[in-house]
Amino acid sequence: MFFFSLFNSLILNTPVGHVSDDEEQFLSWEERIQIALDISHGIEYLHEGAVPPVIHRDLKSANILLDHSMRAKVADFGLSKEEVFDERSSGLKGTYGYIDPVYISTNKFTMKSDIYSFGIIIFELITAIHPHQNLMEYVNLAGMSPDGVDEILDKRLVGECNIADVRDLATVAHKCLQKFQRKRPSIGEVSQAILKIKQRCLAKEDTMSIEVSRVLTRIEDQQVELSRMASKKDVE
């Protein structure tokens, strides 16, 4: 199976699958929600499923791989380390733009440092802006306005998603980026929050499908009635 990195698909807009030269392809909002959920489940396995727990230490969009179904897998465990209580680190490791500021100041990497990196990735999914493109400056400016997230949403998604869902996902990301690690959620809590957003999206899609079906049924009924009336008129 061949995989593409999230960085290539989201930031560089590299085509995934068979796309014609004149066809623009980008990750839909539904795909981005699913990708966020897949990533959270991957981290959840490392933090809460593995024995002993594992800290990734280098979460970034380039280390998230997508298959042709746009399902995501967390990859590149080169810096990963089992969590131990007397963990010591010799020098900072990781990728600029994704590194937890607490790690920079204390030289101690924890699970909550992975959570911080994931918060950055979530904002990448929302904005299609890479940390090296001043992502956090845009995010911080957006945070000064109640509708700020609307302004930094990937323009290709405008009109293609429910803005309330975007704001909810941004709220999850902001919680992951809390200054103090103790205020950041666990990965299990993050997974639950993203799952709820996905479920609301699916519920809205089902509602829309039902409404469309009802409209089509009414149109068909009207066409049948008009045809019946026309036939009756011809007979007269």
Catalytic annotation, residues = 58
Q: Strand 81-82 vs strand 64-66: parallel, antiparallel, or unpaired? A: unpaired
What sign does the CA torsion over 159, 161, 163, 167 have?
negative
Q: Where are the alpha helices (DSSP H) in the chain?
A: 6-10, 29-44, 101-106, 111-127, 135-142, 148-152, 163-176, 187-235
- Nearest Cα to Cα of residue 192 among 166, 178, 172, 174: 172
Length of the chain: 236
Burial letters for 162-179: b for 16+ Cβ neighbours within 10 Å, e otherwise?
eeebbbbbbebbebbbbe
The 3-state DSSP class for residue 64 equals: strand
**Rg from Cα positions in the chain:** 23
Task: Specify whether the CB–CB gap between 177 and 101 falls below 8 A.
Answer: no
